[in-house]
Homo-oligomer: A and B are copies of this chain.
Amino acid sequence: MKTLKDKIRSEGKVYPGNILKVDSFLNHQIDVELLKSIGKTFFERFSDIKVDKILTIEASGIAIAVIAAQYFKVPVVFAKKGEVKHHLVYSTLIHSYTKNKTSIVQVNKSYLKENEQILILDDFLAKGEAVNGLIDLVLQAKAQVVGIGIVIEKGFQEGGASLREQGYRLESLAIIESMDQKGIHFRE
């Protein structure tokens, strides 16, 4: 997705520890025109499959999921972080290497149902912690992951390769092959 890659090149900031900040248009301030293009592109990429619901995780994933859901015409569910207070939820642990923090993540059992066809959307894919946590929640519900859509995949980390090997249909709109303070290079 060229507009996205151009934006990452011009506004993305690379920090030590493989950190890419895109706070000016995706993760703190949001360029809603770009977000609409992202949502439409996910819809085109997954137009051949039946999607019942979009699953994401708070907070940044919510913007992407709701904009995309307008085109799919399905509800969004976002997994919540924080302690589990009752047994009416599916829960899992997700470690963020960027934040160096492990969070309990949960979805109320009412909002993920057996056999539902779930599309997972998220902003970043690196080692795959968040996506694997969301897959775990879907499997606990005996629902089905029919696709995974990622805005920015760090192709030099193992998350994407592992999901593709497992047979998941993964569509990443921008795959970074390498990055450093001098520049960002995308996979063609």
Bound-complex Cα distance A28 to B73 (A): 17
Bound-complex Cα distance A159 to B33 (A): 33
Bound-complex Cα distance A35 to B74 (A): 12
Q: Which residues of B contact A80 (CB under 8 A)?
A: 28, 59
> Would you call B36 and A59 a contact (CB within 8 A)?
no
| A32 on the B face (CB < 8 A) | yes
User: Could you tell me the distance in whole angstroms from the C-beta of A67 to the nearest C-beta in chain B?
Assistant: 6
Most chain B Cβ neighbours within 10 Å, of A24, A78, A108: A78
Q: A58-B59, A59-B62, A70-B36 are in contact. Are A31 and B75 (CB under 8 A)?
A: yes
Q: Among residues 60 to 87 in chain A, which have CB atoms less than 8 Å away from a CB atom of chain B?
A: 60, 62-63, 65-67, 69-70, 73-78, 80
Q: Among residues 70 to 126 in chain A, which have CB atoms less than 8 Å away from a CB atom of chain B?
A: 70, 73-78, 80, 107-108, 110-111
> Would you call B108 and A75 a contact (CB within 8 A)?
no
User: Could you tell me the distance in whole angstroms from the C-beta of A109 to the nearest C-beta in chain B?
Assistant: 11
Other A-B contacts than A29-B77, A29-B111, A59-B78, 15 sampled, CB-CB below 8 A, are A24-B111, A28-B77, A28-B108, A28-B111, A29-B76, A29-B110, A30-B75, A32-B69, A32-B70, A32-B76, A58-B59, A59-B59, A63-B76, A66-B66, A67-B67
